[in-house]
């Protein structure tokens, strides 16, 4: 404890201070014993390592990769943000070199909507980046407090962020971690994109021992979820999710587990934004839906094309002033009039069910088609397997340019012990011996998409092992194909199905029956 008179440490159990002699146990004395709050070990380490250069004040943010501290540059007397890699992240050797290299590349990005990087450094085991300190609030905190944002604000944020991304993409830098928490609004209503360079530099340490990519799943593109290389179209997808979140007050894909979110990014069309918010201009809604297209080829070829599309939206001078004033107020913690929205419809369950229920809630032909496509979502296999097949088949998927018809209602195939959603062309009866060599072939090729339960089931098409747990847009010859699915402890499936030339055959969820 502390002596209330002189502040000297006094061992517990002693009555008198050994320095000044004060009676610390006397109830009539001013014995207010203050127990100092235990200091965060990382904060203490950063303060010690950077003493003399930066006065580290406090931590104001922490993620899975790094912590952010507000500090004062001692020599220039200006506030800065210190982003420090967490000790739990294995940063060393080639990864540390990559961190410095990518951060230096990001430091060369001179754009009014990109947070400037001042310095990249390493002291002992501390790897840090010094950035401009933005006095304001991140977009995710604004949405959490405010809900859906006014349309002029949505357009202003999308324009600024897209402009920053187009500039970076043109110089060979892809962000890879666009999300609402990485879009900052300062107290003057200016919009910044932060963390350029850090996301790419951290890729090597954002992989778990099993190979699963770790990130912010609500904003990750399907190709990033699969662990495939991420290009400009990946940033576009993430920005589209941010745009949807600003319009609806919530991201389109929320679930109780990372795998469930990932499979929705793969298979589930985003909800109809008009069903939760009225008055959204159709060109803006169409732009958002194009950004969140599952196939990267269906997004914008160049991010500059996205900028042009945003600039083509009506955004008059008065709306621009309103947007900046609203952003200024929100960044300072004030509330603005609430935008009334409905509740996003629940996402389909991870098991096949309720096709008719979804269809009954869909009031238009497009809604009904989207509802049918949401039938039969199964448990996604390990992300590494999905990544392999995404990488193998993305090029063929782009080449085909085929549109996918919606799934039909789920049904039970009692002959094979399978619960599956019916493909556009129905499953046939189990094949006779030798059908593999006599498979009917039509001209052209098609794509196949299916998932299994259990998720470790091995999938064979025409006798060739093509995946474990999931097959996503596998390119196969059109015609009759043989499908076998096997898993330990389950009744195997052995049947045939038809692949339509130039289309996508969705077999939905195939749930094997347990052995008796």
How far is residue 422 CA from its own chain's centroid? Answer: 30
Return the sign of the alpha-carbon dihedral for residues 126, 130, 134, 137.
negative
The β-bridge partners of 479 are 441, 499
What is the rounded distance in angstroms from the CA atom of residue 106 to the CA atom of residue 212? 26
Beta-sheet strands, E only, within 275-414: 410-413
Cα 185 to chain center, whole Å? 20
177 in active site: yes
Stretch (H or E) spanning 236: helix 232-248
Q: Token digits for 459?
A: 């999938």
* Residue 116, both tokens: 């400037």
Largest CA distance in the chain: 101
Instruction: Pick left, alpha or beta for residue 444 (phi over 0 → left; psi -120 to 50 → alpha; otherwise beta).
Output: left
Alpha carbons 317 and 310: distance in angstroms, whole number: 15
DSSP E strands, 34-146:
54-62, 66-73, 78-85, 117-123, 126-132, 136-138
- Give me the sign of the Cα torsion angle 317, 322, 323, 324: positive
Residue positions counted in the chain: 516
- Residue labelled with tokens 């749930």: 511
SS3 97: helix
The sign of the CA dihedral 87, 91, 96, 102 is negative
Q: How far apart are the first and last CA of the chain?
A: 68
Q: Nearest CA to 481 among 464, 467, 458, 457? A: 464
- Does the bond joining 279 to the residue before it have cis omega, within 30 degrees of 0? no
Q: Which residues pair with 191 in a beta bridge?
A: 185
Contacts for 13 with CB less than 8 Å, ≥ 6 apart: none
Q: CB–CB of 189/327 below 8 Å?
A: yes
The residue whose two tokens read 């899975």 is 64
Catalytic residue among 9, 73, 97, 177: 177
Per-residue DSSP letter, 75? T
Q: In a 10 Å sphere around its CB, with 0-12 CB exposed, 13-18 middle and 19+ buried, how is residue 118 labelled?
A: middle
Which residues are tagged catalytic? 177
């Amino acid at each position: 404890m502390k002596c209330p008179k002189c502040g000297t440490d006094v061992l517990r159990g002693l009555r008198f201070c050994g320095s000044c002699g004060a009676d610390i146990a006397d109830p009539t004395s001013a014995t207010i014993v203050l127990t100092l709050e235990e200091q965060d070990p990382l904060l203490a380490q950063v303060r010690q390592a950077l003493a003399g250069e930066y006065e580290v004040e406090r931590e104001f943010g922490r993620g899975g990769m790094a912590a952010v501290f507000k500090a004062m540059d001692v020599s220039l007397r200006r506030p800065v943000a210190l982003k420090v890699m967490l000790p739990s992240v294995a940063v060393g050797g080639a990864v540390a070199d990559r961190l410095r290299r990518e951060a230096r590349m990001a430091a060369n990005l001179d754009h009014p909507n990109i947070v400037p990087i001042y310095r990249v450094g390493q002291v002992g085991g501390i790897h840090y980046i010094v950035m401009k300190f933005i006095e304001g609030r991140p977009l995710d905190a604004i949405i959490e407090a405010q809900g859906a944002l006014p349309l002029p604000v949505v357009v202003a944020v999308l324009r600024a962020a897209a402009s920053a991304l187009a500039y970076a993409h043109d110089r060979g830098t892809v962000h890879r971690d666009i999300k609402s928490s990485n879009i900052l609004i300062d107290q003057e209503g200016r919009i910044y994109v932060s963390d350029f360079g850090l996301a790419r530099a951290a890729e090597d340490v954002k992989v778990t021992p099993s190979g699963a990519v770790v990130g912010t799943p609500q904003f990750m593109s399907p190709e990033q979820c699969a662990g495939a290389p991420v290009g400009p179209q990946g940033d576009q997808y993430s920005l589209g999710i941010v745009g949807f979140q600003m319009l609806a007050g919530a991201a389109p894909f929320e679930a109780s587990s990372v795998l469930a979110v990932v499979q929705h990014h793969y298979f589930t069309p985003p909800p109809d934004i008009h069903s939760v918010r009225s008055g959204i201009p159709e060109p803006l809604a169409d732009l958002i839906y194009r950004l969140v297209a599952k196939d990267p080829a269906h997004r914008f070829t160049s991010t500059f094309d996205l900028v042009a599309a945003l600039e083509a939206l009506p955004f008059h001078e008065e709306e621009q002033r309103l947007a900046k004033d609203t952003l200024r107020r929100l960044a300072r913690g004030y509330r603005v009039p609430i935008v009334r929205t409905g509740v996003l419809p629940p996402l389909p369950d991870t098991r096949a069910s309720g096709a008719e229920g979804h269809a009954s809630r869909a009031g238009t032909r497009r809604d009904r088609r989207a509802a049918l496509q949401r039938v039969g979502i199964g448990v996604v296999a390990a992300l590494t397997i999905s990544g392999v097949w995404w990488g193998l088949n993305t090029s063929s998927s782009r080449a085909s340019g085929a549109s996918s018809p919606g799934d039909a209602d789920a049904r039970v195939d009692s002959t094979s012990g399978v619960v599956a959603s019916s493909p556009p062309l129905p499953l046939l009866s189990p094949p006779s011996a030798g059908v593999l060599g006599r498979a009917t072939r039509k001209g052209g090729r098609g794509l196949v998409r299916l998932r299994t339960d259990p998720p470790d089931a091995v999938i064979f098409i025409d006798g060739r092992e093509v995946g474990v747990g999931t097959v996503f847009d596998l390119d196969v010859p059109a015609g009759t194909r043989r499908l076998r699915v096997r898993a330990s402890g389950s009744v195997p499936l052995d049947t045939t199905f038809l692949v339509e030339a130039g289309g996508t055959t969705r077999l939905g969820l195939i749930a094997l029956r347990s052995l008796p």
